[in-house]
Chain A
Amino acid sequence: MRAFDTMNPAAVTVTLILAACITIFSLEPLLLGISLICAATYFLMRNGRRHAAFHIGAIGMPLLFALLNPLWNQHGTTVLFVINQRAVTQEALVYGGVTGLRLAAVLYWFRNFSDLMTSEKLFYLFRGFSPKLALVFTMAVRNLSLFRAQMRKIQTSQRALGLYREGHLIDDLRGGMRVFSILLTWALENGIITANSMSARGYGCGKRSSFTFYRWEKGDVALLLTALVLAAAVIAGILSGALTWQFYPQRIPPAMTLQYFGAIAAYAGLAMLPVIYEGKEMLTWHCLRQSI
């Protein structure tokens, strides 16, 4: 068992996308809670105490939604109190909280996804789909840092030429426009030169192979299959209506059947996968350090 971020990117992507997509399309508070806890735990395991602002924003989401939803939602039968002749119902409050919970969980999953997927992993994924697209994508990523560096150079030289006045709004805007214009000329020209040298070296004649770090090993296949089977179980549960809550006009939770608990357990398994892989890795590291 390897660390989660060294697994085959396709297996990792499928696991994360399935966990996130089921979260997006579900309104079951228990499932959403599990989803949020797993995603946030994984995020914390990878990042430690950094990104406090992100945590505050994400955790505040359910509260914000719970408070805002009753303002434009008048459904529900249990009136808590009345403001400005508008009834604030308990059902609307709960529904808002649940949608906020969903958004928070989804944000954590996507944040984890962007953290894990480095550009070379994305290249690997795109490559299977379309080599041309993969090339355009990687070159765009590379151009991003290239242009940033070039922009800094242009700015420095403009400043040295005395074309800037510090803290002057109009001058700043005009200077910014000029820098962008110079960058644009340079970027287009640089692109043409790159293309010319690529075709001079024979890009585009015949089929090409590309280098990659990633292979399919037994562990990758196992991860992919586990994720698919667990997700299939949850989706079957959702489609059969075992996880469907009714919020309006009255809150009716789904019946506590075997199917309900089965689907929830399957989802918990799916969402725990990254945490399990990461936790195992941390444990091994801890033991190795202990034995020194």
Chain B
Amino acid sequence: MLVIRSEKIRRVLRVALPFAIMPAMVLLLPRGLQAQHYALVTFLMTGFALLLFLAGFERRELGTRRMILVSVMTALSVLGRMLPVIKPITALTVLSALYLGPEAGFLTGALSAVLSNFIMGQGPWTPFQMLAWGMIGLFAGLLAKPLRRNRLLLYLYGMVSGFAYSMILDIWTTVWTYGEFTFRQYGAALVSSMPYPVVYALSNLIFLMLLAKPFGEKLARIGKKYGL
């Protein structure tokens, strides 16, 4: 991507390549392949998209402070994942994206997934969780302005991302159990995972309601105290 001069095109490509072009390839490529290799293609593409996006951070000026705060938020959400039933991981990812930017949001989500899976159990689903939480953070960061202004919109985003998380993970469930991807099987997987999306959405809502205001205040206080 070094060849492209225009900053704007590069920025669009950096988001579009991992999240639009490669998923499209996943859906189109295996038409010619045997069904058995479908899972492999999906898995590799997801891993590749992640690597591609993460590699972009090396050349970005994220700033020391923001990097440290990302590591703080990651550790907090990993600690939070040990709570029973309701998990604050999405809420914390969204909040750090709102105040630290889309890249920081992606990093917080993706790293929390890997780290907490060392406690909860790693598996072939790890890249999908990384991608799902990372994207929730990324889009929260891109929509930061309206989300920060309107509390209701933030709650809505939290609930929608609960469902979205489950939908992204069900793509993997479908491909893994059936060895192929058709919308009928995907629908069946969505229905059979039914209690979980609701639990995710509700726990996101609860934690955003509890944390959104204090979190903003705390950051503002620190900004004043240390003159950021």
On A, residues with C-beta under 8 Å from B are 20-21, 24-25, 27, 99, 106-107, 110-111, 113-114, 129-133, 135-137, 139-141, 143-144, 146-148, 151, 177, 181, 183-185, 187-192, 194-196, 198-199, 203-204, 239, 241, 244
Contact = CB atoms under 8 A, between A and B. Distances in A.
Contacts of A181: 214
Name the interface size band of chain B.
35 or more
Nearest to A113: B122
A110 B122 contact: yes
B55 interface: yes
9 contacts: A114-B122, A131-B58, A136-B107, A140-B70, A140-B71, A144-B75, A147-B76, A147-B79, A184-B214
A208 B43 CA distance: 34
B64 A199 contact: yes
Interface in B43-94: 43, 51, 54-55, 57-58, 62, 64-65, 67-72, 74-76, 78-79
A196 B219 contact: no
A232 to B, nearest CB: 15
Q: Which 8 A-B residue pairings sit nearest by Cβ, starting from the closest?
A: A143-B75, A139-B71, A140-B74, A195-B68, A191-B72, A195-B65, A140-B71, A110-B122
A191 B71 contact: yes
Q: Is the interface of A mostly helix, strand, loop or mixed?
A: helix
Contacts of B79: 144, 147-148, 151
Contact of B68 (A141, A146, A198, A239): A198
Interface stretch (B18-26, B34-42, B161-169): B34-42
A191 B69 contact: yes
Contacts of B115: 137, 140-141, 144
B55 A130 contact: yes
B123 A107 contact: yes
B177 A99 contact: yes
A132 B122 contact: no
